[in-house]
Amino acid sequence: MRGRRGPLAAVLALGLVLGTGSWVYVATRDDGDAVRASASEEPGLLDRLGDAARGLVGSDGGGRAETVPVPAGLEVSQPAEPGRKWPAQKRVREVAAKRTANGKVYQLSDGRLQAEMSAVPVNYRDAKGTFQPIDTSVKPTGRAGYVQGNATNTFTSLFGDETDELVRFEKDGRSIELGLPGAARKVAPKVSGSTVTYPVDGVELVYEVSSTELKEKIV
């Protein structure tokens, strides 16, 4: 826009990290507080920007231009402040006390805080109610019956060594168990990271643990 409007500068910064079917929103501020809002919490952002733009090109009915305040506190007639070049970001440590189910906060080397938000859970609450990083690895349980399992997640997955009790899924005090019909037979679960495989009756039952689901495949 030229003439009476003066220059208007708007900067919107989004950090997008693509992973396995998920997005991560990274925001950094220099006032000591991390930005925790994800993109989904700002459903009207584009609408508000559009309304502001329409207001800037409007008039008072007499052909005279209006002076519209910009949310940053500048009048349209004022030149934008010169941009500031930030030093390279280097994470010093995670601020564990600021964890949420879907977010982590890091302290940068220059004192700023950086929030990283995910579309899927990255932390779970332990028995004391403290957020801990999710680890979907399946490991020996040391108990009879369900000999392998994962409890460092938003739910618990247990895997047995007999066909009538292959899998147990637990969440919020409730559970569901899966098994094969007929007399119980011994079967050894094969574990690889977050995947458990049962070779049964000429096929393979494969269970994959993620932060959002326990998925079954028949191969």
Q: Classify 43 as helix, strand or coil.
A: coil
Residue 9's pLDDT is: 37
Rounded-to-integer distance, Cα 192 and Cα 101, Å? 26
Pairing assessment for the beta strands 174-178 and 165-171 based on DSSP bridges: antiparallel
Domain limits of the chain? 3-125, 139-218
Q: What is the pTM (predicted TM-score) of this model?
A: 0.61
- Residue recorded with tokens 């919020």: 172
Q: Classify 46 as helix, strand or coil.
A: helix
- Residue recorded with tokens 């458990």: 196
Residue 157's pLDDT is: 98
Q: What is the distance of C-alpha 103 from the center of its chain?
A: 6
Work out the percent of the chain whose per-residue pLDDT is above 90.
55
